[in-house]
Chain A
């Protein structure tokens, strides 16, 4: 008589099968009541079922006491009495079905996870946009002169996406690096025909030295669409204030050279003229391109 029955639950092919563990000391065959507890869900009693049972036993086999492994198989077989072994063809069909079901189930899981992940990313992005809107940078209206000598105001750039960088032409390495990066981003975005063109802008924080001629010389080394902007000290300060740009000229050298310490950020501005996002030195061109693409898609949706 079975003293104790322990149930062990096994997963196989996504369907719940129950294995029956027997305590040591059991010698007798399964009484019929025990067999009733042997659930094989929703599968008709076919030849394949025996194969399932065998496989399932194999799965739980490691947990079974060695010498009892054969016992339930023999008794099960005699009980179910299917005759000879199920044909291998039927077994293979069953295997294929099980594999298919497993793959579908797994695929469904992955699909669900992916969907949830994308939703979360979208939500995070929306939150960030809300936060940046609250900060509300770039509200003002600047008026500067471009590197061709034409006066430009902020209104001139409404209707297109803008990438804005503040720097100066005497910058040792950071400004050229960032402008190269910005040019690469604009070039990458240009390759996408479905996206609107982005306008790169460079505003100097060193109006004393960076006049129209100096800017013209400087911007031609970067993206052809890059516009350099300068003006009087007051105009430049006004533009910098709009974007909370920090700029501080350092001590002057013997030959009057100096380095301007300044915030190193690339600003993304929407066609409505609102500040949307910023990118620091840590972001590379690919990351920035991806981010801008996302912003553009979200913007259109809104």
Chain B
């Protein structure tokens, strides 16, 4: 399977951007963005779909950490 060309890459990226914008607008409800999702999956290789989905999860998580903060987990319990 040949690697995507420059044009194909750009098509994939813009489909991804549209999907992410849709999700942002709809508060991450995937159900509202089904057609954009389908478009995205059609424009990009399967591996890239997985990669970008994980990337979005990571970015959301990072944003949450930066805005809401986090409580550090308890360390290993000392043997009593």
Contact = CB atoms under 8 A, between A and B. Distances in A.
Interface of A: 169-170, 172-173, 176, 209-210, 214, 217-218, 221, 253-259
A176 B5 contact: no
B46 A221 contact: no
By secondary structure, the B interface counts as helix
A176 B2 contact: no
A218 B5 CA distance: 7
Contacts of A258: 47
Interface residues of B, number: 15
Nearest 8 Cβ contacts at the A-B interface: A169-B3, A221-B6, A257-B47, A172-B48, A170-B3, A172-B51, A253-B47, A253-B46
* Interface of A, helix, strand, loop or mixed by DSSP: loop
A236 B2 CA distance: 20
B1 interface: yes
Contacts of A214: 2-3
Contacts, number: 38
A259 B45 CA distance: 11
Contacts of A217: 2-3, 5
Contact of B3 (A218, A253, A256): A218
Given A170-B47, A257-B45, A176 B3 contact: no
Nearest to A218: B3
B20 interface: no
Given A172-B48, A172-B52, A173-B13, A255 B3 contact: no
A257 B45 CA distance: 8
Given A169-B3, A221-B6, A256-B1, 10 more contacts: A170-B45, A170-B47, A173-B9, A173-B13, A214-B2, A217-B2, A218-B3, A254-B46, A257-B47, A259-B51
